[in-house]
Amino acid sequence: METKKTKSKTEKKTEGKTHPLIIGPRITEKSAIFADKGIYTFNVKPQANKNEIKKAIKYVYGVEPIKISVTQITKKVILRRGIIGTKQGGKKAVVHLKKGDKIAFV
């Protein structure tokens, strides 16, 4: 006799869905600590804005963000003779979810 496995309502199906604005999750020690509190960090395209990121997160992960913060990332580089300059590093989005919502990264 076979038994069927069903997914719980809190676990979201994320297989196969992608969005061109979301590059991927930003996995760092700090973001892992915040993930327990329902705050997730993503690398996004430089032309993305908050409304587009909100729609992309809802489409890909099936959760509704309540707050989104967007930050430009700069990288420090050493130029000739020890002069320090900056280089574009991209853009990151910090997404806050409701208390019961979670995102599972594979």
Fold of the CATH domain 22-97: Alpha-Beta Plaits (3.30.70)
The residue behind tokens 């993305």 is: 48
Tokens (6 digits) for 46 = 């430089």
- pLDDT of residue 4 exceeding 80: no
Q: How far is CA 25 from CA 11, 20, 57, in A?
A: 17, 13, 11
**What's the pLDDT at 56?**
95
Long-range contacts of 22-27 (CB under 8 A, 24+ apart): 22/53, 22/56, 22/57, 22/60, 23/90, 25/105, 26/92, 27/105
**With 0-12 CB in 10 A as exposed, 13-18 as middle and 19+ as buried, what is 4?**
exposed
Domain ranges within the chain, ordered by starting residue: 22-97
71-82 residue pLDDT tens? 999 999 998 888
Collapse the DSSP code of 72 into the 3-class scheme (helix H, G, I; strand E, B; otherwise coil) and give the result.
Answer: strand
What residues contact residue 92 under an 8 Å CB cut-off, 6+ apart? Answer: 26, 41, 42, 43, 44, 70, 71, 73
**What's the pLDDT at 66?**
96
10-57 residue pLDDT tens? 444 545 688 999 999 999 999 999 999 999 999 999 999 999 999 999
Q: Taking the model in full, what pTM does it have?
A: 0.77
